[in-house]
Amino acid sequence: MSIVNKIQDGHDLIFKGFLVICSLAVLVYLLPKEAKFQYEFQKGKPWLHGDLMAPFDFAILKTDKEFSSEKEAINNSVMLHFVQNQEIGERQINAFDLAISQKLDSTNSAEKRKWNLFQKTGASLLTEIYTKGVVRPDPVIENIADDELVTLIKGNKGEEIEFGDLLSISKSYELIKPRLQYLDAEIKDELENYLVGFVEHNTFFDSLKTAQILQNRMESVLKFHGKIEKDELIISKGQMVDPVKYQELVSLKQEYERRKGSTQNVLFIVLGQILLVGLVLLVLVLFLSIFRQQIINVSNRVFFILVSFTATVALGMLPLYFPEVPLYVLPFCILPIVIKAFYDEVLAAFVHILAILLIAFVAPNGFEFLFLQLIAGLVAIFSLVAIRKRSQLINTVLLIFGAYVLSDLALVLIQEGHWRLINYVHFSWFAASALLTILAVPLVYLFEKAFGFLSDVTLMELADTNSTLLRKLATKAPGTFQHSMQVANLAEQAILKIGGNPLLVRTGAMYHDIGKMAEPQYFIENQVGGLNPHDELEPEESARIIIDHVIKGVELAKKHRLPEVLIDFIRSHHGTSTVRYFLYKYQEIHGYNAEINRFQYPGPPPFSKETAVLMMADACEAASRSLKEYSAESINNLVENLINGQAAEKQFDNADVTYKDITTIKKMFKKMLLNIYHVRIEYPK
């Protein structure tokens, strides 16, 4: 039974532990189960480790540039292949002979000599034309130069010729015309047109043969050049990692991980990954426990942080399973933007750093990845410090892209020593990653709905005095609207001093009295002409109307679908205090036997810094309006008596405010009220 009780008492802690274990399991599962090369190195930097000897024989990889250059050279050197269909030429020549024979049978003796001569000349011309080849047009060969060599296949034999040696239909005409110059002009045109009718394409571009030869040659390109023997010195301590040494080290790293991945016990690799990921998650949990207790104490906030963190690291593993996806296209800056939308900049930066540390462990060129993502993530956070509209994210996208480009440029100049070696493909990746950061907007919205959070942007939109509900408040209860504005100013400045969310407390203050719209005339700030309807009511009825503004405010807020976080300000801004004026009036009339609960607000008391500050600001601002004389002494006494009275009633016991915070708040309220009512501070003589 005691175990069950312990589980029930610690269920919240158990759930949080379960969330951490789930994150650990997911990340370890996604990590590659291969040994890692133990040395870190960078091109253009000195080798910081000891002398490195080759642990085994291995081939030296060609650089991507060398490999691509060889393939490009092969692609340019492979000749296009054409196939000549000899049957077409034979068929057309035979058809020509037959046509001439029929013509001879049907002509008189005078014409036969002409046609006999033409038969011999035409057959010779067609034989020459079809031997050269009449090539059929094809988009691939439109821009081939006449002097470019191609392969012409006749039967089983191939020969290299210049492309210009092949004929087109128009070139065939040009070949025929000069050969018929000996004929009489009156019959030349007739015979020329007659002969042209027997010319057609007999040579065709063979795309399959060309592609097959190209593929065979591409496959023959080796990825290696040279070899390092076992125990051969690769690099000495302090030696500069130049392009040659860099390629040797990359080759060793790849071969080492290939060999160890197949021979080393996977259990040890998994154990190491559990320790690695576990340490990162432990650091995250410790940070939240020490510096962000308001997050670690709430399960859904912990869940949100872990889901965001795990999803981002999982995103970084995507290229391991889909190599065609470039790592730098992925929008890692979404994580700090989403965290910043709900919490502070420090937490956003801390979570982002831990996430990219884990990804850098498996990313190629881990230091470069870490540097680029760290700079871009911090720039994203800085650009959103004063965010007021969702459209500001466009500026963030541009800044992220600029951070990526400048960081990459810096690394290239350091490592390569020249700007000409910049890989401009990387810039397109950076642009895609920056643009994908826009996905943070719908993600923030989804997290708001899923976890009941409020982003700064949503709070700004709700705090806009042009919003529907606040416009109604300004119209129906203008005095209450002005009161709410003053309370918002007081509460915002106070929360800035003691630490908290100033935007949240300001927005909560704007809506805390919306319930007064139901019967605005019963609240003194809305009364004009000295008429007070409470003069005609019993104290109990007056108290009910006053208390009901909290209940009606909650109902109105729910009707307009205000977030629960803001509704909490409406519920708690009077806590469980009493409507003292009407309670005392009732006691004067009926004695001291009044039922306190009939004059008491339903509560609950404030349960956060923000709601506690609002309660103090509301009371001080409202009471300050009834002062007969505004002086430093009267305002000082007012603030002290009201806040001390609330503390004595234990209204702040559930809120995370200290006596030091309360003292700071008092000073701030006194200073601001003195400025509001233009009271001069009396200095000692």
Residue 61's DSSP bridge partners are 224
Does the structure show a pLDDT above 70 at 110? no
Give percent of the chain above pLDDT 70.
Answer: 91
> Is residue 10 very low, low, confident or very high in pLDDT (cuts 50, 70, 90)?
low
How many other CB atoms are there within 10 angstroms of residue 161's CB atom? Answer: 16
Smallest CA-to-CA distance from 506 within 557, 459, 556 is with 459
How many other CB atoms are there within 10 angstroms of residue 266's CB atom? Answer: 11
407 shares its domain with 511: no
Are 518 and 559 within 8 A, CB to CB?
A: no
Mean pLDDT confidence for 290-312 = 92
501 shares its domain with 579: yes
Does the structure show a pLDDT above 70 at 74? yes
What does pLDDT average to over the chain? 86
Structural domain includes residue 420? yes
Domain end among 206, 241, 263: 263
Task: Supply the pLDDT for residue 660.
Answer: 94
Domain end among 429, 451, 473: 451
Least confident stretch, 13-17, 314-318, 420-424, 480-484:
420-424
CA distance 384 to 382: 5
Q: Domain tally for the chain?
A: 4
Q: What is the DSSP letter of 680?
A: P
Smallest CA-to-CA distance from 513 within 560, 456, 474 is with 474
pLDDT greater at residue 531 or residue 372: 372
Task: Supply the pLDDT for residue 621.
Answer: 94
Structural domain includes residue 515? yes
> Is residue 183 very low, low, confident or very high in pLDDT (cuts 50, 70, 90)?
low
Taking the mean position of all CA atoms in its chain, how far away is CA 617?
A: 40
384 shares its domain with 318: yes
91 in helix, strand or coil? helix
Task: Supply the pLDDT for residue 398.
Answer: 93
Task: Supply the pLDDT for residue 59.
Answer: 82
467 shares its domain with 610: yes
Structural domain includes residue 542? yes
How many other CB atoms are there within 10 angstroms of residue 665's CB atom? Answer: 26
312 shares its domain with 443: yes
> Is residue 182 very low, low, confident or very high in pLDDT (cuts 50, 70, 90)?
low
193 shares its domain with 121: yes
Taking the mean position of all CA atoms in its chain, how far away is CA 71?
A: 35
Amino acid at 432: A
CA distances in angstroms from 338 to 52, 137, 198, 264, 352, listed in the order given: 44, 58, 75, 40, 10
107 shares its domain with 151: yes
Q: The tokens 């909490």 sit on which residue? A: 568
Mean pLDDT confidence for 497-519 = 93
543 shares its domain with 607: yes
Mean pLDDT confidence for 382-407 = 82
CA distance 290 to 660: 20
Does the structure show a pLDDT above 80 at 499? yes
Task: Supply the pLDDT for residue 403.
Answer: 95
CA distances in angstroms from 140 to 82, 136, 160, 207, listed in the order given: 12, 11, 18, 9
Structural domain includes residue 68? no
Structural domain includes residue 644? yes
Are 640 and 624 within 8 A, CB to CB?
A: no
Task: Supply the pLDDT for residue 685.
Answer: 45
pLDDT greater at residue 388 or residue 443: 443
CATH code at position 505: 1.10.3210
Mean pLDDT confidence for 101-111 = 72
Task: Supply the pLDDT for residue 231.
Answer: 81
Taking the mean position of all CA atoms in its chain, how far away is CA 436?
A: 5
Task: Supply the pLDDT for residue 126.
Answer: 87
210 shares its domain with 228: no
194: Cα within 13 Å, side-chain hemisphere? 18
CA distance 453 to 446: 10
Does the structure show a pLDDT above 90 at 42? no
199 shares its domain with 81: yes
How many other CB atoms are there within 10 angstroms of residue 605's CB atom? Answer: 22
Does the structure show a pLDDT above 60 at 279? yes
> Is residue 390 very low, low, confident or very high in pLDDT (cuts 50, 70, 90)?
low
Mean pLDDT confidence for 514-519 = 94
108 in helix, strand or coil? coil
Domain end among 451, 479, 508: 451
Least confident stretch, 52-56, 466-470, 601-605, 638-642:
52-56
Q: The tokens 């509301």 sit on which residue? A: 618
How many other CB atoms are there within 10 angstroms of residue 56's CB atom? Answer: 12
> Is residue 391 very low, low, confident or very high in pLDDT (cuts 50, 70, 90)?
low
Tokens of 192: 């020329």
Task: Supply the pLDDT for residue 5.
Answer: 59
Task: Supply the pLDDT for residue 50.
Answer: 78
Q: What is the pLDDT of residues 531-570, one digit of tens each?
A: 888 888 888 899 999 999 999 999 999 999 898 889 999 9
Mean pLDDT confidence for 185-212 = 82
Structural domain includes residue 684? no
pLDDT greater at residue 288 or residue 393: 288
> Is residue 592 very low, low, confident or very high in pLDDT (cuts 50, 70, 90)?
low
468 shares its domain with 574: yes
Are 505 and 612 within 8 A, CB to CB?
A: no
Are 670 and 636 within 8 A, CB to CB?
A: yes
Structural domain includes residue 371? yes
Mean pLDDT confidence for 473-484 = 94
CA distances in angstroms from 146 to 129, 158, 167, 669, listed in the order given: 17, 19, 11, 91
Q: Which residues contact 224 (CB under 8 A, 6 or more apart)?
A: 59, 60, 61, 62, 251
Does the structure show a pLDDT above 80 at 331? yes
What is the enclosing helix (H) or strand (E) of 160?
strand 157-162
Does the structure show a pLDDT above 70 at 199? yes
Give me the phi and psi of 84, to 5 degrees please: -100, 125
CA distance 570 to 552: 10
> Which three-class secondary structure string do you get for 350-400?
HHHHHHHHHHHHHCCCHHHHHHHHHHHHHHHHHHCCCCCCHHHHHHHHHHH
Are 358 and 28 within 8 A, CB to CB?
A: no
Structural domain that includes position 536: 456-676
Task: Supply the pLDDT for residue 185.
Answer: 67
pLDDT greater at residue 657 or residue 244: 657
Task: Supply the pLDDT for residue 257.
Answer: 73
Task: Supply the pLDDT for residue 336.
Answer: 95
Are 189 and 177 within 8 A, CB to CB?
A: no
Does the structure show a pLDDT above 60 at 282? yes
Mean pLDDT confidence for 172-186 = 73
156 in helix, strand or coil? coil
Structural domain includes residue 67? no
> Which three-class secondary structure string do you get for 21-55?
HHHHHHHHHHCCCCCCCCCCCCCCCECCCCCEECC
312 shares its domain with 348: yes
